Amino acid sequence: MCRAKIVKPVLWKQAARFENVAPTIKVGSSGKITVFSSIRNQKFFGHIDNGNTFFMWNLNNVSEPQAFNHKTKQLLTELANEAYANPKLYAAGETEFYGSNKLYGLTQCTRDLSASDCKKCLDGIIGELPSCCDGKQGGRVVGGSCYFRYEIYPFLNSL
């Protein structure tokens, strides 16, 4: 999944012509995400894809996991509300925790989803937070239709 700021609108128009071509996501040993295309014999364009979800997390734990998990869920929920209200279905932001330290987050949906489906998708993967990243300094849930990431360091140039 590409960040909304990078994807050209013309690419989404082209993708609409190939609604049976599905992305397959692979994480290499370097941790970089590679996206491949494959052909499916079912239509997926405009539908939430929950079948291709995977987790990634920072190996380091936080000192106060319950408070941190609460703050993380709060930030991601706020960003999900911003993303589904944004025509680009994307939001990024930050919040303070543990005094002057910051927590950074990003939520995004594929732009073939409606705003309401984007919200449903993001709410679903945010619900995976305890399974994925409980007490971790950073984490990602990458789905076929939506994505979130949070870290204790800035990972976007725009924040």
Say if CB 62 and CB 45 are below 8 A apart.
Answer: no
Q: Is the pTM of this model over 0.75?
A: no
CATH code for the domain in which residue 68 is found: 3.30.430.20
Q: Integer distance in angstroms from the first to the last C-alpha of the chain?
A: 19
Tokens of 116: 């309401």
Q: Which domain holds residue 57?
A: 45-151
How is residue 89 written in tokens? 């279905």
Residue 141 in domain? yes
* pLDDT tens per residue across span 18-60: 444 444 444 444 445 444 444 455 555 667 787 778 999 999 9
Computed over its alpha carbons, how large is the radius of gyration of the chain? 16
Q: How many domains does the chain have?
A: 1
Task: Please choose, from the candidates 101, 104, 100, 111, the residue with its C-alpha nearest in 3D space to the C-alpha of residue 145.
Answer: 111
The answer to the question of residue 27 being in a domain is no
Tens digits of residue pLDDT in 88-112? 999 999 999 888 899 999 999 999 9
User: What gap in Å lies between CA 6 and CA 27, rounded to an integer?
Assistant: 20
Bridge partners for 106 per DSSP: 92, 149
79 closest CA partner among 22, 135, 146, 1: 146
